[in-house]
Chains A and B, each alone.
Chain A
Amino acid sequence: MADAPTPYERFIQGILPENPVYRQLLGLCPTLAVTNGLQAAMTMAGAVAFVLFCANIITSLIRDLLKPHLRIVIFTLTIATFVTIADRFLAAYMYQMSKTLGPYIPLIIVNCLIICRCEVCASKQSVVHAGMDAMGQSIGFAIALGSIAAVREILGTGMLFGIRVLPAVWPDWVVMVLPPGAFLTLGLLLGAVNWYGMQKQDA
């Protein structure tokens, strides 16, 4: 068996080469749902980063106690605890944003990304590996969410983070901030990332 990746390698891999959205196709539910605006997307990325980091650390600490057929349930219960903390924190300090994000914060519990990272990395490697993996994947997730949200918000409302970017004559492509626009943006950006990857492979 080859050497397991070092913590630094895990960190770098998570950002672009093993990007959770564009390469692994995990965590698509919040990616499509909250990328209406850049602010909501960044809040969601922050929440996922917190939950992923804490869940990875805890799972890594208890990895020797896990029974094989119960591990998914244990992961999910750990994640549920941290999501409760994140949800109450958002409701207390960022109430408007909490209302906008709605049921998608609790849906972080069943986010395939976090469960997959716990399963693949945290339950098998040390705390340092798990922590660095979490940080890399969170940054990758934030980049993915940010790119999709930027495209949708600029084309859909002409604004970015609430600041006017396109001139007022821009006819807002309202479909971009509605559900069809989410699917279309993700599909086309995924195609763009694949094309870029193919170019690099041919070069």
Chain B
Amino acid sequence: MSYIVDILLIAVGAALINNFVLYYFVGICPFIGVSRKVDMAFGMGCAVTFVISIAAFLSWTITTYILKPGAPLSKWMAGLFVSPEMAANIDLTILCYIVYIFAISSSVQFVEMYVRKFFPVLYKSFGVFLPLITTNCAILFACLTIMSNVAGVDNPADAWDLGRSLTLAVFGGIGFTIAIVIMAGIREELELCDIPKPLEGAAITFVVAGILALAFMGFTGVDSGLKKALTPKTSETVQVQVIHTDRNLASSANYIF
């Protein structure tokens, strides 16, 4: 039961509260570039979600079995050359950026080849976006978040398993899709408006994105509220009313995220 609650909190967090585009600022390039028409934006969102899930699966597997301190495969390989005690200390996390980039580029390449061969109609609608997605910040960001929750935790029992990682990836992609589709809808309307010349194009898009980010800030606290609602009350827990005031916002101003 608490696993499902965990998954739900990660999902809501990734999609709404800590939206990849409007809170963490990753994936801004397609957000600005592709959000002119709603159907194009939706296609881009689906493509990003698809690639993010594959990349997250790859990065979780590689991190858990090869890169993290004391990972099984690396320990076995090192054990062939050095003593087992030394092999147990092996820590390959320094290679993580290079390995992730390699994984993402190759997965995008394979996805493109596969889609072009077996789903040509899908390729026609996805096709031009797929190469752009390789350099998309959102994918690398998802991989880095997964890595910090797998290899960067102090207690090995807290390390994320595959389910949590995939939830973060899929719902992060869904949050990206939500944001980009809303932005596309607004931009379609903006084309009929009388915008001052200096602000036309990217500038007004950013201003609108700022207001959108302001709206999404309203989701803050949904995860702790959900957690309180879904966790069964025992006799030991004390009901504490937490009131979010403006002071909480000001204190969070010292953190970037």
Residues of A within 8 A of B (CB): 25, 28-29, 32-34, 36, 40, 72-73, 76-77, 80-81, 83-84, 87-88, 100-103, 106-107, 109-112, 115, 156-157, 172, 174-175, 177-184, 186-188, 190-192, 194-195, 198
Contacts and interface: CB of A to CB of B under 8 A. Distances in A.
Interface of B: 22-26, 28-29, 32, 94, 97-98, 101-102, 105, 134-137, 139-141, 144-145, 148, 196-200, 202-214, 217, 246, 249-250, 252-253, 256-257
B101 A183 contact: no
B26 A84 contact: no
A156 B253 contact: yes
Contacts of B140: 106-107, 109-110
Contact of B203 (A156, A180, A187): A187
A103 B197 contact: no
Contacts of B29: 28-29, 112
Given A29-B137, A112-B135, A179-B25, A172 B250 contact: yes
Given A29-B26, A102-B257, A110-B139, 18 more contacts: A25-B32, A28-B25, A33-B24, A33-B25, A83-B97, A102-B256, A107-B144, A112-B135, A172-B250, A175-B214, A178-B249, A179-B213, A180-B210, A180-B213, A180-B214, A184-B210, A191-B198, A194-B203
Contacts of A84: 94, 97-98
A174 B208 CA distance: 19
Instruction: Classify the secondary structure of A's interface with B.
Output: helix
Contact of A77 (B24, B102, B208): B102
